[in-house]
């Protein structure tokens, strides 16, 4: 987390089409201080209740140490609302709890079934493994990824957020050599027929001679 700023989830992938492994933590639009998945130190590090959430995905091709591309995507244009994921998790947990002859315990995961064998010495943890499609696939209708470039950087930012940046920062972006800023419409994660106005920032480096 950045003080007085957003929370950042960093992921590394070896293939542009590899799903992001989020493990037991579902996709997020924002990070909330009452989340059961963050530590007490995170909650108490500053005064906050909710932070913007940014996914940062680095693509390092297998068997190389070369960062080929880097993607920045705001959570509110990448993930659905939290209720979408929690309702599914809760439905699964409820169905397990209602099974006959099962001693079920609630946890931060989907659940835990205790004493599954006759001696009552074996327990079963039920974990969710959330997988999220990478931005290369999710936003293939707006980005201009080019094979053969030495490095490429893509940032997808909601228009409402972009215009809140300091004028100095926006001017520096607009004047940066090799960088382009394009107006794009992103499919709304909570309403596929809706669109969200965004800025697509692209920066590409040609291969060395």
> 128: helix, coil or strand?
coil
Span of 15-19, 27-31, 51-55, 90-94 with lowest mean pLDDT: 90-94
| Residues forming beta bridges with residue 180, ordered by sequence position | 202
Widest CA span of the chain, in angstroms? 71
Whether residue 105 is contained in a domain is answered as: no
- Residue 98 has what pLDDT? 84
Q: State which residues form the domain around 14.
A: 7-81+128-205
Query: What pTM was estimated for this model as a whole?
Result: 0.89
pLDDT grade, residue 125 (50/70/90)?
confident
Residues 69, 75, 154: CA angle, nearest 5 degrees: 25
| Residues forming beta bridges with residue 201, ordered by sequence position | 155, 181
- Residue 189 has what pLDDT? 96
Whether residue 103 is contained in a domain is answered as: no
Whether residue 107 is contained in a domain is answered as: no
Whether residue 17 is contained in a domain is answered as: yes
Q: Buried (b) or exposed (e) across 16-54, using 16+ Cβ within 10 A? A: bebebebeeebbbbbbbeebeeeeeebeeeeebeebbbb
The total domain count for the chain is: 1
Whether residue 136 is contained in a domain is answered as: yes
Whether residue 138 is contained in a domain is answered as: yes
> How many Cβ atoms are within 10 Å of 185's Cβ, its own excluded?
13
Residue scoring higher pLDDT (111 or 75): 75
Residue 108 pLDDT exceeds 80: no
Whether residue 188 is contained in a domain is answered as: yes
Residue pair 30/52 in contact by the 8 Å Cβ criterion: yes
pLDDT in tens, 157-175: 999 999 999 999 999 999 9
Whether residue 53 is contained in a domain is answered as: yes
C-alpha distances (whole Å) from 25 to each of 9, 36, 79, 168 are 11, 10, 12, 36
């Amino acid at each position: 987390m950045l003080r007085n700023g957003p929370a950042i989830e960093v992921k590394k992938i070896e293939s542009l089409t590899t799903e992001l492994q989020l493990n037991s933590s579902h996709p997020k639009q924002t990070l909330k201080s009452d989340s059961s998945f963050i530590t007490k130190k995170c909650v108490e590090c500053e005064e906050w209740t909710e932070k913007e959430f940014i996914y940062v995905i680095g693509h390092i091709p297998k068997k190389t140490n070369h960062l080929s591309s880097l993607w920045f995507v705001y959570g509110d244009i990448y993930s659905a609302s939290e209720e979408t994921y929690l309702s599914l998790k809760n439905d699964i947990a409820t169905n397990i709890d209602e099974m006959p002859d099962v001693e079920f315990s609630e946890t931060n995961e989907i659940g835990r079934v205790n004493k599954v064998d006759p001696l009552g010495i074996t327990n079963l943890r039920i974990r969710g493994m959330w997988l999220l499609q990478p931005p290369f696939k999710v936003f293939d209708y707006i980005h201009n990824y080019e094979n053969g470039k030495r490095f490429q950087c893509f940032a997808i930012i909601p228009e409402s957020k972009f215009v809140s940046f300091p004028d100095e920062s926006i001017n520096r972006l607009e004047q940066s050599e090799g960088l382009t800023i394009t107006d794009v419409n992103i499919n709304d994660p909570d309403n596929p027929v809706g669109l969200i106005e965004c800025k697509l920032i692209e920066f590409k480096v040609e291969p060395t001679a």
